[in-house]
Amino acid sequence: MTDHVHDLRSVREATDRLLTAVAKLDNAALAEESHLPGWSRGHVLAHLARNADALVNVFEGRPMYESAGARDADIARDAGRPLEEHLADLRDSAARFLATTERDQDWSRTVELRNGITDLAANVPFRRWVEVDLHHVDLNIGYELSDLPEEFTGREIDFLADRWSGRPEVPAVALVATDGRSWRTGSAGDPAVTVSGTPSGLLAWLAGRGDKGASLSATGGPLPELPPL
C-alpha cells in the first residue's frame, strides 16, 4: 500500500514551496495568464484551494464536488481576488485537508472521487501532492517540470502511463528515460513506438504540459498524440 504518511509530508513541503513562491507575486501578476489555456494564475490558485476542500469531502464521504458546474463557478468566483485573500484561502484550505487526514480512519477503504472515479484512501495524499506541485508549474512563475522532486516525477509517470494503458486510441508505446527507467503505455500488444527523453520530458508529454513532447525522440513511428487529461 502507498505510504500515506510519507505522501502527506510531501504535500506539506509542496504547499510550503507554493505559498513561498506565490507570496512574492502581486495582484497584477495574479491576473496574468498561467500555462493552462483560459486560466489566469488566480484561476489556478482558486482551483487549488477548492480542490483541498473537495478532498475533505472525499474523506468525509460526500461528493467531491456538488457538480461540474458548481466547481467551475467556484473557481471563476474566486479567481479575481487579491493576493492576500488567495494566500489565506490556500493556507486555510490546506490546513483543513491535513486536519482531516490526521483523524483515525481506514486508509485501505475505497473512496469516490470526481466523475465516479474510485481509489484507495491511502492514494489520496499523493493525488493532492500532484495537484499542488503540478499546478505550481502551471502558474508560470519559474517553477518548472525539471524542478519537481525526482520521486514525484517517477511516480506521476507511473500513474499516467497506467492511465493511458489499454486505451485503443493510444498506440502501444515503450517509454525510456535518460536515467535508465522505463515504462510502457497505450493499447495492448508489443510496442511499435519507443519514446525516449528525460523524465521531465516524458512527464510533459504524458501530462500535456511544457513542450508536450517536443524534446522527446520517437523511433518506430511518430510521437503519438494523447487525449486530454
Task: With a cut of 80, say whether residue 77 has pLDDT above it.
Answer: yes
User: For 122-154, how does the pLDDT look when each residue is reduced to its tens digit (9 = 90+)?
Assistant: 999 999 999 999 999 999 999 999 999 999 999
Report residue 195 as a C-alpha cell: 519514446
Going by pLDDT thresholds of 50, 70 and 90, the confidence category of residue 213 is confident
Please list the residues that pair with 194 across neighbouring strands: 174, 219
User: What's the confidence (pLDDT) of residue 122?
Assistant: 97
- CA-wise closest residue to 30 among 82, 67, 69, 101: 82
| Cα-based distances in Å from 228 to 53, 164, 170, 203, 225 | 25, 11, 12, 14, 9
User: What's the confidence (pLDDT) of residue 1?
Assistant: 59
The amino acid at residue 22 is V
Task: Taking residues 155-165, report their average pLDDT.
Answer: 95
Provide the 8-state DSSP code for 171. Answer: -
Phi, psi of 16, deg, nearest 5: -60, -40
Task: With a cut of 90, say whether residue 199 has pLDDT above it.
Answer: yes
Higher pLDDT, residue 40 or 210: 40
Task: With a cut of 80, say whether residue 47 has pLDDT above it.
Answer: yes
Q: Counting every residue, how long is the chain?
A: 229
Provide the 8-state DSSP code for 141. Answer: S
- CA-wise closest residue to 209 among 150, 157, 155, 151: 157
Mean pLDDT value across the chain: 96
Q: How far is CA 130 from the centre of its chain?
A: 4
User: For 180-192, how does the pLDDT look when each residue is reduced to its tens digit (9 = 90+)?
Assistant: 999 999 999 899 8
Start-to-end Cα distance in the chain: 25
Task: Taking residues 28-55, report their average pLDDT.
Answer: 98
Higher pLDDT, residue 207 or 229: 207
* Extended strands (E) in the chain: 110-112, 118-120, 173-177, 182-185, 193-197, 217-219
User: What's the confidence (pLDDT) of residue 176?
Assistant: 97
